[in-house]
Amino acid sequence: MKNFATGRKPSFLSTTGIVVIIMLMAGCSSSSSPEIWAEGKPKHHTQSGFRNYPILPEYPPVGAAFYFRRVMDSFFLPDVPEDHYLSETDAISQFQQLNGQNSITWLGHATFLIKINEKTILTDPFLTEYASPFWDFGPRRYVQPGISLDNLPPIDMVVVSHNHLDHLDAETIESLQGKENIHVFVPLGLKAFFKDRGYKNIKELDWNERFSYGGIELTALPVVHYSGRGLNDKNKTLWCSWSLSSLSNKVFFSGDTSYSPIIFKTIGEKNGPYDLAIVSIGAYKTRKYGPASHLTPEEAVKVAIETKSNVAVAMHWGTIELSDEPPWEPPVRFKKAAQENCISSDQRWVMKIGETRLIPSKK
C-alpha cells in the first residue's frame, strides 16, 4: 500500500499563511440574504447569480473547522490499496485496445474519458496534485491520474459540471493540447474561463438547454449544488449535470449534487432511460459543517434508479480527501445499497483508476 503525492510539505511561513487564509475564508462564507428572482428568467436565476430551485432553506456558514480539516488533509494522506488503480502503462494499453469502441475510462475523482461516436470527451478536468488556489497546500491528490496530462489522447470535447477547483482545474485546462479544435460545454457563466485560456469553441447552456455536436446531443440538467472558486464569487456561475446522447449510447453524468426527491425523477421521466449513470458517491461527511452538497452512496443508487439508468458508475471518491468519511468506505456502502435494491454486480461499477470499460449498448 502506498500513496502517490509528490508535492513538498508547506513551510512554517506558508503554514502561518494557511491559518490567515482559513480565517478569511471562514469570515467570508456567511450565508447571504435571500436571493431575489430575476424576473422574466427561469426560477433558478437571481439578480446576482443563480440558486438551487426548488428553493432550499438558508444555512449557517461552514466555519473555520471545515477549512482547517481540508488543509490538514494535505499533510496526512491515506495509504492506497494496490487494487485501487492501474499503472499508467496498463491504463494506456487498455484504453488503446478498445480504440474505436464506445468506452469509459476513469482518470480519478470526477474526471473521465468517454468515447462516443468516435469522439473523446473529457469530463470535469482535474489532473494535477492540488484542488486548491494556493501553492502546495489544500486538498491533495493521493493517487496519480489514470492517464497523465502528457499522455492523454487527443480530446474532442470537454464537458464541465461546475467551477469548483476539484472539477475545473486551471492548470489542466491550460495544458490540454489542441485547444483550437476542442469543443467545450459548460453551464452559464463559464465561457470566459475557457476563452481567456485560448479556447475558441465554447458553448454555455442553461438548465434543460440542448446542443448537438458530432452526433451527440448534450443537455444541461438541474442538480442541487453551488459554485465558486474564491471568496466573493459564490453562485455567480451555474452548476449542472449532463445528458450525453447518441444513436448508440446514452450517458448521465451527475457532477456534484445532493439528493432531490423531485429533480432526478423528472430527469428520468423526461430524458431517460440511460445506459450509464455516473454518480458521485463520496464527500458526504461534510454535512456536519453545513448543508448537504453531495450524495451519500445510498442516495447515489437512488439517483441511478430514478434516472432509469441500466448501470451505475461510482465517481468522486478515492482520489482526494474532501470530507471526513474514511476514504475506502464509499464503495462498500455503494455496493451494499445497490445489492439491497436488486442491482446486480454487473450493473454497479466501482472502477479502478485508469480502468477502461465498454459502454453497454441501448437495448
Tell me if 7 is assigned to some domain: no
Q: Give the total number of structural domains in the chain.
A: 1
| Residue 5 forms part of a structural domain | no
- Domain assignment present for 299: yes
Q: Is residue 309 part of a domain?
A: yes
CATH of the domain at 118: 3.60.15.10
What's the first-to-final CA gap in the chain, in angstroms? 41
Question: CA geometry: angle at 19 spanning 16 and 20, to 5°?
Answer: 90
DSSP symbols for 232-245: S-TTSS---EEEEE
- 3-state SS record for 57-87: CCCCCCCHHHHHHHHHCCCCCCCECHHHECC
Element (H, E) at 149: none
C-alpha cell at 304: 441511478
Identify whether 218 is part of a domain. yes
Q: Is residue 2 part of a domain?
A: no
327: in domain: yes
Q: Which domain holds residue 340?
A: 12-358
Task: Walk along the chain (363 residues) and give the pLDDT tens digit of each residue.
Answer: 566 654 444 444 444 444 444 444 444 444 445 679 989 999 999 999 999 998 876 666 666 666 666 666 667 788 999 999 999 999 999 999 999 999 999 999 999 999 999 999 999 999 999 988 766 667 899 999 999 999 999 999 999 999 999 999 999 999 999 999 999 999 999 999 999 999 999 999 999 999 999 999 999 999 999 999 988 899 999 999 999 999 999 999 999 999 999 999 999 999 999 999 999 999 998 776 667 899 999 999 999 999 999 999 999 999 999 888 999 999 999 999 999 999 999 999 999 999 999 999 865
Q: Is residue 285 part of a domain?
A: yes
Predicted TM-score (pTM) of this structure: 0.91
